[in-house]
């Protein structure tokens, strides 16, 4: 589309000028009003910047630019989450070592990112695969180790046979590998864990203090999964072992007729009689082939095996058979449940295997014979019967009383359980930070002293996965370890989960070049927590929980002063293409580069923002972008051709449009409703276009309002208007409500029938707002002397107080 405005020349020109003026470099020490604007940093995987990145980064920059014009010292950094599977997979696909491809991909991405025209402070960029960065990833591991929050444990782990790596629970979606979709299997491996569970309570309670989307907070609450319950101790017949069972339904314990252990429960080996071992062993092998999701799927038929041992129900002293069944997971709760007639799953399991059931609970009212006859399962709260001294009590009361009884008899206690598991940080992959641990010839783990950091990732390694940690192949790595620590010493061959790298990067942006400290405490105190964090909702549980945990731990270690890293969090919506999610396989991915080359970055940015509310996203259309192209040309033409520099001030008859526009654009941006902010500017330019000429001040207000949304265009017009400073350094325009006449009404205020003043309120103000505003008037207040006896409001006209 032809027009007077040529974005490609203009945008390149201003980007160069901004760069050489260093206008986006933030002096972290001197800044008086810190505003830390952060977006989730990208993986430089070689797929280049896509629309999703743009939709995360560009509107975030627009909001940061608005904050800057509101007088804040904005810090807006950008970096690269370069370790991990995407980079390694790309390297495997293309046959180039990750270090090489990453360097190239980062360069490409920096060029693309620079073309957005954001305020990134490139002086303070970071790349998590640089040794200057992963030195701190390793330092963090050492701190966790020192404070006993890092430990090694053998356990069944999720394993992807295709990627040949261990996956965290979070990386398994419905039994499939989150990365490649292959079915995940269980594999026993020695792994490093970080004790995030120690912070479960704080991770949960602090959520109330955060300005985050409610949905995300709810996802974290569910992920942490707190439940209050009881632990019941069952004796094992003919054994000194005690079986501990966690339950939230101790009110049904009188009906417990069998108990079920997870197949891998440690007691199984100790208490299974020899003659049952064959069947038990076969069942356990079968279980290993299943994922957690398959095991707990409510719709699947349940299987199990009686192990031939018996437990003693502590409240009835009856002996009950012990079973193993794969629907009980070893790593959840105590890995054991007591089973009874008032749990749907137990009920069906008992019916299937002919285990007797005993009903002990009925509903508070209504027919209950089907329940008493075991024709149907009642699993709600109700009234106890067949339950000794607790018969007749309501479930809720019975739970407390039975737990107290168990505590008294020393065979149980009240406990709080969390669904949250410790964070598995070991990865059997090449492209990650080496774990700073070495083993002595006896196999004991020792932390690597800090003076040896960064503990370099060796380069003499085939990066193709083999099922074993690739670092095993490095001669240099093994020799290095022996040279420093002694003959027979070996390094840890696993690398760290990439979520470790991203759990503290927000601190390292603030500590650029500091090799002595993770972060300067004064800078941390001043700049943290992050003022605004914007990124995808897919990070609701993993990254956003890990980062909170790490920040809390660092506070306890004494390195930071804040507990929470991100005070305000916003998730951008999704950009679709004709209703469908963009994906390479569908071939419907919109490449920003060609649109930016044709129409400029401002047009692309504004079109994305115009599609819908930022948190909802929108649907891409090649023709829709034309409206924004026309808008940009029109703004340029109207303001450069019609502005009369000799007439500065606006005349009263046009003041209303001016102030209304300021108000609507300001309120829209404040709420991240960039789409309505752009509509506001469209209406404003329509009004200006109809006029013979535009006073300079009004033109300047328009350009300032436009500046966060179309920074290059705004700067170009600003320059044409004869301004010497950058428009992004101007103050945000303020509106004067006295010019918003049609939207307001004047209300007279009387006290005991005498007029004591008047107030100007918005015409949609409520009665309550108007009365409370009326009471606050100085001249009214002094006649009120406390609360009036009567308050009368005549809509649109009068407030009358009687004292
Ligand atoms: Zn996989």
The DSSP secondary structure of 753-777, one letter per residue, reads TEEEEEEEEETT--HHHHHHHHHHS
523, 529, 629, 672 from 512: Cα distances, Å: 11, 17, 39, 30
Looking at the predicted structure, is the pLDDT value of residue 644 above 70? yes
- Distance from the alpha carbon of residue 438 to the mean position of ligand 1, in angstroms: 29
Q: Ligand 1 centroid to 89 CA: how many Å?
A: 10
Residue 477 token pair: 């790595």
Say if residue 137's pLDDT is above 50.
yes
Condensed to tens digits (0 to 9), the pLDDT of residues 572-586 reads 999 998 888 887 777
Query: CA 444 to CA 446: how far, in whole Å?
Result: 7
How close is the Cα of 172 to the center of ligand 1, in Å?
9
Does residue 644 or residue 483 have the better pLDDT? 483
Residue 650 CA from chain centroid, whole number: 47
Which residue spans within 539-594 are E strands per DSSP?
569-570, 574-577, 580-581
List, for residues 269-306, the tens digit of each pLDDT value: 999 999 999 999 999 998 887 777 677 776 677 899 99
DSSP state for residue 449 in the 8-state scheme: P
**How far is ligand 1, taken at its centre, from the CA of residue 458, in Å?**
24
| % of the chain residues with pLDDT over 90 | 70
pLDDT at 4: 80
What is the spatial distance between Cα 663 and Cα 291, in angstroms, rounded to a whole number? 55
Q: What's the chain's average pLDDT?
A: 92
* CA 579–ligand 1 middle distance (angstroms): 28
Which pair of tokens denotes residue 536?
């995808």
CA of 159 to the centre of ligand 1 (A): 8
Please give the distance, rounded to the nearest whole angstrom, from the Cα atom of residue 84 to the centre of ligand 1: 13
Task: Please tell me the distance between residue 81's alpha carbon and the centre of ligand 1 in angstroms.
Answer: 20
| Alpha carbon of 187 to ligand 1 centroid (Å) | 14
Residue 269 alpha carbon to ligand 1 centre in Å: 33
Distance 178 CA to ligand 1 centre (A): 7
Distance from the alpha carbon of residue 559 to the mean position of ligand 1, in angstroms: 37
CA of 420 to the centre of ligand 1 (A): 23
Q: What's the CA-to-centroid distance between 160 and ligand 1, angstroms?
A: 5
- DSSP letter (8 states) at residue 183: B
Going from the Cα of 289 to the center of ligand 1, the distance in angstroms, rounded, reads 16
Quick check: 439 and 492 in contact, CB under 8 A?
Answer: yes
Q: Over range 210-215, report the average pLDDT.
A: 97
What six digits make up the tokens of 514? 């500091």
What is the 358 CA–ligand 1 centroid distance (Å)?
A: 46
With a cut of 80, say whether residue 333 has pLDDT above it. no
pLDDT of residue 647: 81
Distance 466 CA to ligand 1 centre (A): 13
Give pTM, 2 decimals. 0.81
Query: Of 479, 473, 434, 469, which is closest to residue 453 (Cα–Cα)?
Result: 434
- Checking if the pLDDT of 2 tops 70, the result is no
Distance 108 CA to ligand 1 centre (A): 27
pLDDT at 1 over 50: no
CA of 188 to the centre of ligand 1 (A): 17
Q: Say what the pLDDT of residue 81 is.
A: 94
Q: Which two tokens stand for residue 33?
A: 């009003």
pLDDT of residue 721: 95
Q: How confident is the model at residue 204 (pLDDT cuts 50, 70, 90)?
A: very high
What span, in angstroms and rounded, lies between the C-alpha atoms of 223 and 195? 15
Relative to beta strand 304-312, strand 319-325 is: antiparallel
CA of 433 from ligand 1 middle (Å) equals 20
Centroid of ligand 1 to alpha carbon of 302 (angstroms): 28
What's the CA-to-centroid distance between 166 and ligand 1, angstroms? 9
Q: How far is the CA of 180 from the centre of ligand 1 (A)?
A: 4
* C-alpha of residue 286 to centroid of ligand 1, in Å: 22
Q: Could you give the C-alpha distances from 264 to 160, 176, 244, in angstroms and in order?
A: 21, 22, 15
- CA 132 to ligand 1 centroid distance, Å: 30
| Rounded Cα distance, 604 and 621, in Å | 12
Q: Say how many Å lie between the CA of residue 152 and the centre of ligand 1.
A: 24
Residue whose token pair is 């490449």: 591
| 697 C-alpha to ligand 1 centroid (Å) | 60
Please tell me the distance between residue 164's alpha carbon and the centre of ligand 1 in angstroms: 7
C-alpha 185 – ligand 1 centre gap (Å): 10
Q: Is the dihedral of CA 707, 65, 671, 622 positive or negative?
A: positive
Convert the pLDDT of each residue in 79-135 to its tens digit: 999 998 777 777 777 788 888 888 988 999 999 999 999 999 999 999 999 999 999
- How far does the centroid of ligand 1 lie from the alpha carbon of residue 656, in Å? 60
Ligand 1: distance of its center to the CA of 169 in Å?
13
**Phi, psi dihedral angles at 36 (to 5 degrees):** -100, 105
How far does residue 183's CA lie from ligand 1's centre (Å)? 8
CA–centroid distance, residue 182 to ligand 1 (Å): 5
Residue 173 CA to ligand 1 centre (angstroms) = 11
* CA of 167 relative to ligand 1 center, distance in Å: 8
The predicted-structure confidence for 714-741, as pLDDT tens digits, reads as follows 999 999 999 999 999 999 999 988 877 6
Query: CA 612, CA 668: separation in Å to the nearest integer?
Result: 12
- C-alpha span between 40 and 512 (Å, rounded): 18
| pLDDT above 70: residue 170 | no
Q: Which of 166-170, 220-224, 382-386, 545-549 shows the lowest mean pLDDT across its residues? A: 166-170
Distance 163 CA to ligand 1 centre (A): 4
Cα–ligand 1 centroid distance for 82 (angstroms): 19
Tell me how far the alpha carbon of residue 194 lies from the centroid of ligand 1, in angstroms: 23
Distance from residue 177's CA to the centre of ligand 1 (Å): 5
Give the pLDDT confidence score for residue 491 in this predicted structure. Answer: 98
Q: Cα of 344 to ligand 1 centre, how many Å?
A: 34
Provide the pLDDT for residue 741.
Answer: 63
Distance (Å) from CA 79 to ligand 1 centroid = 26
For ligand 1, the distance from its centroid to the CA atom of residue 204, given in whole angstroms, is 31
pLDDT one-digit tens code per residue, 595-633 = 899 999 999 999 999 999 999 998 988 888 899 999 999
User: How distant, in Å, are the alpha carbons of 141, 211, 458, 665 from that of 561?
Assistant: 20, 19, 35, 37
Q: 513-540 burial by CB neighbour count: b if 16+ within 10 A, else e?
A: eeeeebbbeebbebbbbbbbbbbbbebb
85 CA from centroid of ligand 1 (Å): 10
Cα(95) to ligand 1 centroid in Å equals: 19
- For residue 161, report the distance from its CA to the centre of ligand 1, in Å: 7
What is the distance in A from the centroid of ligand 1 to the CA of 437?
27
CA distance 80 to 496: 17
**d(CA 732, ligand 1 centre) in Å:** 50
CB-based burial label for 742 (10 Å; 0-12, 13-18, 19+): exposed
Paired residues of 12 in beta bridges: none
88 CA → ligand 1 middle, Å: 13
């Amino acid at each position: 589309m032809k027009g007077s405005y040529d974005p490609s020349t203009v945008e390149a020109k201003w980007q160069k000028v901004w760069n050489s003026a260093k206008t986006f470099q933030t002096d972290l020490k001197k800044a008086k009003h810190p505003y830390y604007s952060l977006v989730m940093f990208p993986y430089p995987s070689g797929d280049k910047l896509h629309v999703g990145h743009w939709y995360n980064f560009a509107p975030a920059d627009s909001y940061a630019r608005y904050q800057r014009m509101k007088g804040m010292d904005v810090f807006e950094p950008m970096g690269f989450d370069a370790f991990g599977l995407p980079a390694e997979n790309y390297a495997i696909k293309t046959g180039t070592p990750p270090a090489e491809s990453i360097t190239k991909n980062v360069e490409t991405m920096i060029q693309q990112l620079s073309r957005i025209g954001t305020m990134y402070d490139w002086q303070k960029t970071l790349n998590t695969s640089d040794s200057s960065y992963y030195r701190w990833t390793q330092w963090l591991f050492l701190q966790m180790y020192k404070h006993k929050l890092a430990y090694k444990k053998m356990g069944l782990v999720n394993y992807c046979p295709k990627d040949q790596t261990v996956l965290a629970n979070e990386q398994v979606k419905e039994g499939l590998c989150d990365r490649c979709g292959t079915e995940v299997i269980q594999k026993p491996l020695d792994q490093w864990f970080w004790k995030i569970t120690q912070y479960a309570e704080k991770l949960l309670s602090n959520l109330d203090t955060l300005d985050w989307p409610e949905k995300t907070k709810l996802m974290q609450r569910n992920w942490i999964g707190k439940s209050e319950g009881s632990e019941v101790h069952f004796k094992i017949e003919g054994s000194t072992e005690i079986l501990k069972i966690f339950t939230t339904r101790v009110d049904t314990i009188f009906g417990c007729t069998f108990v079920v252990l997870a197949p891998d429960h440690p007691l199984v080996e100790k208490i299974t009689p020899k003659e049952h071992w064959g069947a038990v062993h076969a069942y356990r092998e079968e279980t290993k082939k299943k994922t957690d999701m398959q095991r707990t799927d409510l719709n699947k038929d349940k299987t199990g095996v009686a192990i031939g041992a018996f437990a003693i129900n502590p409240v009835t002293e009856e002996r009950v058979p012990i079973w193993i069944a794969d629907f009980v997971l070893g790593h959840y709760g105590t890995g054991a449940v007591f089973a009874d007639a008032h749990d749907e799953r137990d009920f069906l399991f008992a019916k299937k295997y002919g285990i007797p059931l005993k009903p002990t609970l009925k509903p508070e009212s209504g027919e209950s014979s089907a329940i008493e006859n075991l024709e149907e399962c009642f699993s709600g709260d109700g009234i106890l019967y067949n339950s000794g001294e607790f018969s007749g009590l309501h479930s809720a009361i019975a739970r407390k009383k039975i737990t107290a009884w168990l505590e008294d008899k020393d065979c149980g206690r009240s406990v709080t359980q969390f669904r949250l598991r410790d964070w598995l940080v070991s990865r059997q992959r090449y492209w990650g930070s080496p774990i700073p641990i070495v083993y002595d010839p006896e196999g004991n783990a020792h932390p690597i002293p800090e003076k040896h950091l960064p503990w370099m990732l060796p380069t003499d390694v085939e990066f193709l996965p083999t099922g074993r940690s690739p670092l095993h192949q490095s001669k240099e790595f093994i020799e290095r370890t022996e040279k420093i620590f002694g003959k027979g010493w070996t390094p840890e061959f696993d690398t760290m989960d990439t979520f470790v790298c991203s759990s503290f990067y927000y601190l390292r942006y603030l500590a650029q070049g500091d090799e002595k400290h993770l972060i300067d405490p004064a800078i941390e105190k001043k700049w943290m927590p992050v003022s605004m964090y914007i990124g995808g909702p897919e990070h609701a549980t993993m990254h956003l929980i890990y980062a909170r945990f790490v920040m809390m731990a660092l506070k306890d270690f004494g390195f930071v002063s804040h507990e929470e890293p991100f005070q305000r969090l916003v998730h951008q919506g999704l950009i679709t293409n004709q209703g469908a999610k963009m994906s390479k396989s569908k071939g419907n991915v919109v490449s920003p580069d060609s649109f930016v080359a044709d129409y400029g970055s401002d047009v692309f940015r504004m079109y994305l923002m115009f599609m819908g509310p930022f948190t909802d996203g929108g649907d891409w259309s090649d023709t829709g972008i034309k409206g924004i192209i026309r808008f940009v040309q029109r703004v340029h033409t109207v303001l450069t051709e019609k502005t009369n520099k000799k007439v500065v001030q606006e005349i009263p008859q046009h003041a209303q449009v001016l102030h209304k526009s300021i108000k609507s654009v300001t309120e829209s941006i404040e709420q991240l409703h960039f789409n309505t902010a752009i509509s506001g500017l469209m209406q404003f330019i329509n009004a200006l276009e109809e006029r013979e000429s535009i006073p300079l001040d009004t033109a300047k207000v328009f350009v300032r309002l436009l500046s966060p949304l179309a920074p290059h265009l705004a700067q170009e017009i600003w320059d044409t208007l004869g301004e010497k400073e950058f428009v992004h350094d101007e103050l945000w325009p303020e509106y004067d409500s006295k010019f918003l006449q049609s939207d307001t009404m004047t209300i007279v205020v009387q006290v005991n029938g005498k007029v004591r003043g008047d107030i100007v309120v918005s015409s949609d103000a409520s009665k309550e707002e108007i009365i409370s505003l009326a009471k606050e008037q100085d001249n009214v207040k002094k006649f009120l002397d406390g609360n009036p006896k009567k308050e009368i409001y005549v809509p649109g006209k009068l407030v009358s107080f009687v004292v």
